[in-house]
Amino acid sequence: MDIVVVGSVGLDTVETPFDRRGDVLGGAASYACAAASRFACTGLVGVVGEDFPAAADGCLRGFGIDLRGLERRAGRTFRWSGVYEDDCVNRRTLRTELGVFESFNPVLPSAYRSPKCLLLGNIGPELQLRVLEQVRDVPFVALDTMDLWIRTAADALHEVVGRVTLLTVNDAEARFLTGRHNLLDCADKLLAMGPRFVVIKKGEHGSLLFGAEGVRIIPAYPVRGLVDPTGAGDVFAGAALGFLAGGGCMGWDKLAEALLHGSVAASFAVEAFGLEGLAPLDRAAIDGRLRALRAMAV
Amino acid sequence: MDIVVVGSVGLDTVETPFDRRGDVLGGAASYACAAASRFACTGLVGVVGEDFPAAADGCLRGFGIDLRGLERRAGRTFRWSGVYEDDCVNRRTLRTELGVFESFNPVLPSAYRSPKCLLLGNIGPELQLRVLEQVRDVPFVALDTMDLWIRTAADALHEVVGRVTLLTVNDAEARFLTGRHNLLDCADKLLAMGPRFVVIKKGEHGSLLFGAEGVRIIPAYPVRGLVDPTGAGDVFAGAALGFLAGGGCMGWDKLAEALLHGSVAASFAVEAFGLEGLAPLDRAAIDGRLRALRAMAV
């Protein structure tokens, strides 16, 4: 396996200013795997309930995602519902139903234990540590987290952050995690926690990559037909990791290039609900927008 | 004169989360001229009262700004006071005292009537039109405006927008002016009003340049020691126009390069109160940050 992604697989009910969809296949791992699968052989570690629709299963398989790590258990699949404000950026969670995800205990199939890249999606840091115990010789481990874990599992969070190659957070989380406002200061404090690289995501404004090498400004691809921003950050990380796993070197310049691929993949993802925007996506489509994005950048 | 700037000159009282300063030399024209003067011979058209301090006058002269267009009149100088929130981005106006600025009637000295670039700062659109009547053969006219004029002088605003080369607005103003949310849609509607180019400013997130040629993403220079963001947009525009006026061609690529110079100049300006951050600035300092910014960009 080139890349293994651990995280949530669920059914989302999403309301935007323009439309509403119920029980759309979602979850961080679904989005990240669908994007990563465009670049590299991708395995998913997650859990779904007995109500997980055959169509959703078929959708994941249609991306070519390896599902040996997707556990099916008695009970309900994880569900999330939320409503976006008029800006189609800020959102309010209406309801979260953990279902079988509540007792998720990630177990990696033997074929998943030495991937080139491992993406630890936003699950509890204790679970993320349990995943790290099951792998060996992984050249690149990326971690996504959120403010909830700072309040409920700060020690485990610090431990896992100290053991990864790349930490990705959004700007609000970076500020909450560090208690600083300036993003350069936030990045310094996050890098001091151990990861070699830190990416701070700013949604439509792009992202910033930080490391001992300095700072790189990663632009977002300007999207005209925004439909549903759900999962954009997961697609961004999944595509970037997939690109890294598909290539050779995993250094600074290559990571910046990978993140640019992530920006482009995310721009397709937000143009439709769920994984629909990613389904028709091939390398030619990605490379087309990549060239356009590079031409837009100064 | 290479560049002429018309706009406010005032005394600001600014409170940030870190510090407070009273009666600091400010106003859009002061900021824009101080930045433009780094690149080209710059003339200021504005008005101050009899209380305008000799030190403030000396400060403007110290930048090498031509003040033949700065009228001195009986009465008080324009004053603004505001307080920034903890993010040092959002701000609240505490008090605006127009003073002699209320009856400002811009009259251009004869030496100012055919500059290479004219920057119409954020004053009433009727006054901006009066300035346009006084100039001839100006290759590049830039216009800054704000939402206030849409409510109070929509017809004049539309007329002046239709007569300029470049319109600069911030993202909130672009949305208010057009009634659209997506910035690509906003830009389409603004371009349809007549200007050849539109720049939408997004503060610390940089800006976007739009024209028939397409879109350019202009990054902001990441600033660690933010002290006072007042005037950043004016410095951005002033430096960009100064750069344009100092060179030859004024086309798409040159304008993108000019805006990058604007980003860099603004990064210096926000590191101190008022014009202090611009005072020690020379081309070597600007070029240093410009190289760093280009290296950060993908």
Name residues whose C-beta falls within 8 Å of residue B27's C-beta, 6 or more positions apart in sequence: B7, B8, B9, B10, B12, B46, B78, B80
Which of B202, B215, B223 is the closest to A296 by Cβ? B215
Residues A143, A120: contact at Cβ < 8 Å?
yes
The answer to whether the Cβ–Cβ distance between A296 and B217 falls below 8 Å is: yes
Q: How far apart are CA B105 and CA B124, in angstroms?
A: 11
Shortest distance, CA B156 to any CA of chain A (angstroms): 30
Name residues whose C-beta falls within 8 Å of residue B200's C-beta, 6 or more positions apart in sequence: B169, B170, B171, B174, B183, B186, B187, B207, B208, B210
**Residue A113, burial from CB neighbour count under 10 angstroms (0-12, 13-18, 19+):** middle
The answer to whether the Cβ–Cβ distance between B222 and A297 falls below 8 Å is: no
In degrees to the nearest 10, what's the CA dihedral of B91, B97, B100, B102?
Answer: 80
Strand duo A70-73 + A10-15: pairing: unpaired
- What residue type is assigned to position B153 of the chain? A
| Nearest to A156, CA basis, from A165, A140, A143, A168 | A143
Residue ranges of B 237-266 with Cβ closer than 8 A to chain A: 256-257, 260
Which residue in A has a C-alpha nearest to residue B217's C-alpha? A297
The two structure tokens encoding residue A90: 């800020």
Model confidence at B150: pLDDT above 90: no
The answer to whether the Cβ–Cβ distance between A215 and B205 falls below 8 Å is: no
| C-alpha to C-alpha distances, B241 to B27, B33, B60, B127, nearest whole angstrom | 17, 10, 18, 20
Model confidence at A298: pLDDT above 80: no
Name residues whose C-beta falls within 8 Å of residue B183's C-beta, 6 or more positions apart in sequence: A222, B171, B174, B200, B208
Q: How far apart are CA A52 and CA A133, in angstroms?
A: 29
- What residue type is assigned to position B199 of the chain? V
Shortest distance, CA B87 to any CA of chain A (angstroms): 7
Which of B205, B223, B256 is the closest to A298 by Cβ? B256
- Neighbouring-strand partners of residue A233: none
Any A CB within 8 A of B89 CB: no
Kindly indicate the confidence band of residue B206, based on its pLDDT and cuts at 50, 70 and 90: very high
The pLDDT of residue A89 is 84
- Sort out which chain A residues have CB atoms less than 8 A from B296's CB and list them: 214-217
Q: Which three-class secondary structure state does DSSP give residue B79?
A: strand
The answer to whether the Cβ–Cβ distance between B298 and A208 falls below 8 Å is: no
Q: pLDDT digit string (tens) for B172-185?
A: 999 999 999 999 99
| Nearest to A14, CA basis, from A276, A283, A278 | A276
Which residue in B has a C-alpha nearest to residue A202's C-alpha? B205
Any B CB within 8 A of A150 CB: no
Q: How far apart are CA A226 and CA B182, in angstroms?
A: 8
Give alpha helix (H) positions in chain B: 28-36, 54-62, 125-134, 147-152, 154-161, 171-178, 183-192, 232-246, 252-269, 283-296
Any B CB within 8 A of A179 CB: no
Residue B73 neighbours by CB distance under 10 Å: 16
The pLDDT of residue A146 is 81
| C-alpha to C-alpha distances, A17 to A12, A86, A87, B178, nearest whole angstrom | 16, 6, 8, 18
The answer to whether the Cβ–Cβ distance between A257 and B181 falls below 8 Å is: no
The answer to whether the Cβ–Cβ distance between B181 and A298 falls below 8 Å is: no
Which residue in B has a C-alpha nearest to residue A227's C-alpha? B182
Kindly indicate the confidence band of residue B199, based on its pLDDT and cuts at 50, 70 and 90: very high
**Residue B202, burial from CB neighbour count under 10 angstroms (0-12, 13-18, 19+):** middle
Which of B88, B223, B296 is the closest to A217 by Cβ? B296
Q: How far apart are CA B46 and CA A217, in angstroms?
A: 38
The answer to whether the Cβ–Cβ distance between A297 and B296 falls below 8 Å is: no
Kindly indicate the confidence band of residue A104, based on its pLDDT and cuts at 50, 70 and 90: very high
- Sort out which chain B residues have CB atoms less than 8 A from A294's CB and list them: 298
Kindly indicate the confidence band of residue B3, based on its pLDDT and cuts at 50, 70 and 90: very high
Model confidence at B271: pLDDT above 80: yes
The pLDDT of residue A138 is 97
DSSP state of A225: S
Q: Which three-class secondary structure state does DSSP give residue B16?
A: coil
In degrees to the nearest 10, what's the CA dihedral of A43, A49, A53, A55?
Answer: 0
Name residues whose C-beta falls within 8 Å of residue B14's C-beta, 6 or more positions apart in sequence: B20, B21, B24, B26, B81, B82, B83, B84, B228, B230, B273
Kindly indicate the confidence band of residue B81, based on its pLDDT and cuts at 50, 70 and 90: very high
The answer to whether the Cβ–Cβ distance between B224 and A260 falls below 8 Å is: no
Q: How far apart are CA B260 and CA A298, in angstroms?
A: 8
Any B CB within 8 A of A92 CB: no
Q: How far apart are CA A269 and CA B281, in angstroms?
A: 44
Shortest distance, CA A276 to any CA of chain B (angstroms): 21
Give alpha helix (H) positions in chain A: 28-36, 54-62, 125-134, 147-152, 154-161, 171-178, 183-192, 232-246, 252-269, 283-296
Q: What is the ipTM of this complex?
A: 0.92
Angle between the A252-269 and A283-296 helix axes, to the nearest 10 degrees?
110
Q: pLDDT digit string (tens) for B153-172?
A: 999 999 999 999 999 999 99
Q: pLDDT digit string (tens) for A160-208?
A: 999 999 999 999 999 999 999 999 999 999 999 999 999 999 999 999 9
Any B CB within 8 A of A206 CB: yes
The two structure tokens encoding residue A273: 């609900």
Residue A19 neighbours by CB distance under 10 Å: 10
Residues B144, B239: contact at Cβ < 8 Å?
no
The answer to whether the Cβ–Cβ distance between A296 and B182 falls below 8 Å is: no
Q: pLDDT digit string (tens) for A235-247?
A: 999 999 999 998 8
The pLDDT of residue B122 is 87
The rounded mean pLDDT for chain A is 95
The answer to whether the Cβ–Cβ distance between A222 and B87 falls below 8 Å is: no
- Which of the two residues, A86 and B25, has the higher pLDDT score? B25
- Sort out which chain A residues have CB atoms less than 8 A from B215's CB and list them: 222, 296
